[in-house]
Chain A
Amino acid sequence: MTNKAKINTIETAAKIVFTLCAVLAVFAVCSITIYMVAKGTPAFANVGVSELLFGTLWKPTASNASYGILYIILSSIVGTGASVLIGVPVGLFTAVFLTEISNKKLAAVVQPAVELLAAIPSVIYGLLGLMLLNPVMFKLEKLIFAGSKTHQFTGGSNMLSAVVVLAIMILPTVVNVSASSIRSVSKDLRAASLALGASKIQTIFKVTIPAAKSGIMTGSVLGIGRALGEAMAINMVAGGSVNLPLPFNSVRFLTTQLVSEMGYAEGTHRQVLFSVGLVLYLFIMIINLLLQKLRKGATENE
């Protein structure tokens, strides 16, 4: 075999390997989508779309079974929304601190700490929530609902615990993405703003953050995705009863619904759990499409 022929063979082989890998990824996405739709839709036919999506009673094993998942969907939306409302401002301000305010030495400590936060497995967050947060919540619950006849005491496993844990979990994503987009804002913009007499804080809020807007949005959407898809940590701190998503109610999210009931479910109950999976999948897809649109917008701006 000549040298040239050898190179040619390697080239073709590499091409084939790369193509196969790409096909694998596409195949995985397609087959997951097809599977989820195929498995998730029968329950809609069996139970009825409105009864399933807008029913508030979840009694899958009762003799007169009821499969309403509205409270579960609402819990996921409210829980994710609230954690983003807390996590994004805190994350953004941390990013501003890291890039604009702190001196280099301090940033060199804080930055890796935040990055490390991203590497901690979610079960650890859940464990800490269970051991530290829930007892505090229980004390708070007893204080607020002292003497209440109507409140069901949950022992501190409630929506608020889930929100706090989720907010901490999305911090690193928001901080890292926001910080890198703030860093990429041109120095000239800041200099111009300062030269016009704006203060440092004015410059940050009126110039730097607006200029880094698309990156910050991307970070927030990534955070939403992470919060929406989280199961383990929530399962450990949220109590797991299907209730209206009020702060001190024990709640169940779309993800934890799957985690906790898939084991022994059968028949229609099982089918409905696949529908819950499909709803979750659709939510995540919407978040991702939003993300792609944001990224596209960002590149067009540049």
Chain B
Amino acid sequence: MKRKIMKTLAIGVAIVMMVSSLAGCGKSADSNASLTGKISIAGSTSMEKLCEAMSESFMKAYPDITVTVEYTGSGAGIESLTQGSIDIGNASRGLKDGEKEQGAVENIVAIDGIAVITDKANTVADLTSEQLASIYTGDVTNWSEFGGSDEAIVVIGREAGSGTRSAFEELLKVEDTCKYAQELDSTGAVLAKVASTPGAIGYVSLDVVDDTVTAVSLNGAPATEESILAGEYLLSRPFVMATMGEIAEQNELVQTWFAYIASEEGKAVITDLGLILPQ
């Protein structure tokens, strides 16, 4: 009996210690947050993951600032921005000239890159965008047509609703016309399947490509961060958080938001999602 009491006591003490240490954590995060208010963001659906992760991490550091993000689409987001109903407009493409003329300023926070991968034995190292499109629309079904060995092409992609899939189809302009032989529901599954299936082709986020597969170059540009940053690689797009006027002209809250994105924590959020940091 006595032993039992001691045990309960010990557990109790441990819990109290844990709780107080947690409370300490909270306090240290509070110290840099005297700001209160609300930041409203709207725009691109493709940027949902980035915005969710970034705002979650941001609101942990600044508990008194509320960030609301609506996913209305790139065009609608920039329109709301120029009409003045929101603070930041998201676009998963570069801003159009008309939008810039209305005063929207393009702040690229991250770059999304997609690699086209084949199995190691495949000898086709470069594809043009037309060739890639013809593979995914089912017009070409054998690698021999592109100078490879006589091997059937196994077209692998992601499931409907995947951000990678919508970006890939959008950039290649093959929306809703793709004929997939396999629709897999994760990046890892695509990678593993392409690696193990002779003649397979697939697409994944650039950052997960490893040496079990070959990343094909497109129109002569290799699938690397350098070629994306140089603007040569087709399957990449900027994630823009546009503001009316320069960041320096914005209110303190919005400036804090962008400062956070540029901070180490913010950069970690971006790279954790497999996105490329702009330079």
Partners in one complex: yes
> Most chain-A Cβ atoms within 10 A of its Cβ — which of B152, B166, B179?
B152
B235 → A minimal CB distance (Å): 18
B52 → A minimal CB distance (Å): 12
> Most chain-B Cβ atoms within 10 A of its Cβ — which of A61, A63, A135, A259?
A61
Chain A, Cβ-Cβ closest to B184: A240
Is the pair B185, A155 in contact by a Cβ cutoff of 8 Å?
A: no
Q: How far is the CA of A155 from the CA of B199 in the complex (A)?
A: 8
Among B157-176, those with CB < 8 Å from A are 159-163, 166, 175-176
Q: Is B200 an interface residue (CB 8 A)?
A: yes
Q: Is B183 an interface residue (CB 8 A)?
A: yes
Give which listed residue, B141, B153, B179, B181, contacts A149 with CB less than 8 A: B141
Give which listed residue, A58, A135, A153, A252, contacts B199 with CB less than 8 A: A153
A72 → B minimal CB distance (Å): 12
Q: Is A104 an interface residue (CB 8 A)?
A: no
Is the pair A264, B162 in contact by a Cβ cutoff of 8 Å?
A: yes
Give which listed residue, A64, A157, A264, contacts B182 with CB less than 8 A: A157
Q: Is B63 an interface residue (CB 8 A)?
A: no
Q: Given the complex, which residues of A lie within 8 Å of B116, measured CB to CB?
A: none
Say whether chain A's binding surface is mostly helix, strand, loop, or mixed.
loop
Q: How far is the CA of A266 from the CA of B161 in the complex (A)?
A: 8
Q: Given the complex, which residues of B lie within 8 Å of A138, measured CB to CB?
A: 197-198
Q: Is A60 an interface residue (CB 8 A)?
A: yes
Q: Is A200 an interface residue (CB 8 A)?
A: no
Is the pair A261, B185 in contact by a Cβ cutoff of 8 Å?
A: yes
Is the pair A239, B182 in contact by a Cβ cutoff of 8 Å?
A: yes
Q: How far is the CA of A259 from the CA of B141 in the complex (A)?
A: 29
A10 → B minimal CB distance (Å): 23
Is the pair B160, A269 in contact by a Cβ cutoff of 8 Å?
A: yes
Q: How far is the CA of A145 from the CA of B159 in the complex (A)?
A: 26
Is the pair B159, A153 in contact by a Cβ cutoff of 8 Å?
A: no
Binary contact track A39-67/B, C-beta < 8 Å → 1, others 0: 00000000000000000001111111000
Is the pair B183, A155 in contact by a Cβ cutoff of 8 Å?
A: no
Q: Given the complex, which residues of B lie within 8 Å of A250, measured CB to CB?
A: 180-183
Is the pair A241, B182 in contact by a Cβ cutoff of 8 Å?
A: yes
Give which listed residue, B138, B159, B200, contacts A155 with CB less than 8 A: B200
Q: Given the complex, which residues of A lie within 8 Å of B182, measured CB to CB?
A: 154-155, 157, 239-241, 250
Quick one: given A63-B176, A152-B179, A155-B199, are A260 and B185 in contact (CB under 8 Å)? Answer: yes
Q: Is B109 an interface residue (CB 8 A)?
A: no
Q: Given the complex, which residues of B lie within 8 Å of A153, measured CB to CB?
A: 141, 152-154, 181, 199
Is the pair B152, A59 in contact by a Cβ cutoff of 8 Å?
A: no
Quick one: given A260-B159, A260-B183, A261-B159, are A61 and B166 in contact (CB under 8 Å)? Answer: yes
Q: Given the complex, which residues of A lie within 8 Å of B166, measured CB to CB?
A: 61
Quick one: given A153-B141, A155-B197, A269-B161, are A263 and B176 in contact (CB under 8 Å)? Answer: no
Is the pair B175, A63 in contact by a Cβ cutoff of 8 Å?
A: yes
Q: How far is the CA of A239 from the CA of B197 in the complex (A)?
A: 12
Q: Given the complex, which residues of B lie within 8 Å of A145, measured CB to CB?
A: 152
Give which listed residue, B152, B156, B162, contacts A142 with CB less than 8 A: B152
Is the pair B160, A239 in contact by a Cβ cutoff of 8 Å?
A: no
Q: Given the complex, which residues of B lie within 8 Å of A269, measured CB to CB?
A: 160-161
B172 → A minimal CB distance (Å): 15
Is the pair A152, B162 in contact by a Cβ cutoff of 8 Å?
A: no
Q: Given the complex, which residues of B lie within 8 Å of A242, measured CB to CB?
A: 183
Q: How far is the CA of A217 from the CA of B102 in the complex (A)?
A: 73
Q: Is A225 an interface residue (CB 8 A)?
A: no
Q: Is A265 an interface residue (CB 8 A)?
A: yes
Q: Is A208 an interface residue (CB 8 A)?
A: no
Among B184-229, those with CB < 8 Å from A are 184-185, 193, 196-200
Binary contact track A218-251/B, C-beta < 8 Å → 1, others 0: 0000000000000000010001111000000010
Among A119-165, those with CB < 8 Å from B are 134-135, 138, 142, 145, 149, 152-157
Q: How far is the CA of A156 from the CA of B181 in the complex (A)?
A: 10
Chain A, Cβ-Cβ closest to B166: A61
Chain A, Cβ-Cβ closest to B152: A153
Give which listed residue, A64, A155, A261, contacts B156 with CB less than 8 A: A155
Q: Given the complex, which residues of B lie within 8 Å of A266, measured CB to CB?
A: 161
B23 → A minimal CB distance (Å): 35
Q: Is B155 an interface residue (CB 8 A)?
A: yes
Binary contact track B127-171/A, C-beta < 8 Å → 1, others 0: 000000000001001000000000011111001111100100000
B176 → A minimal CB distance (Å): 4
List B residues at the A interface (Cβ < 8 Å). Answer: 138, 141, 152-156, 159-163, 166, 175-176, 179-185, 193, 196-200
5 additional A-B residue pairs with CB within 8 Å, beyond A60-B160, A138-B197, A260-B185: A63-B175, A138-B198, A142-B152, A155-B182, A239-B183
Q: List 25 A–B pairs whose Cβ atoms lie within 8 Å, in order of A's numbering.
A: A59-B160, A60-B160, A60-B161, A62-B176, A63-B175, A134-B197, A135-B196, A145-B152, A155-B193, A155-B199, A157-B182, A157-B193, A239-B183, A240-B183, A240-B184, A250-B180, A250-B183, A260-B159, A260-B185, A261-B159, A261-B161, A261-B185, A264-B163, A265-B160, A265-B161
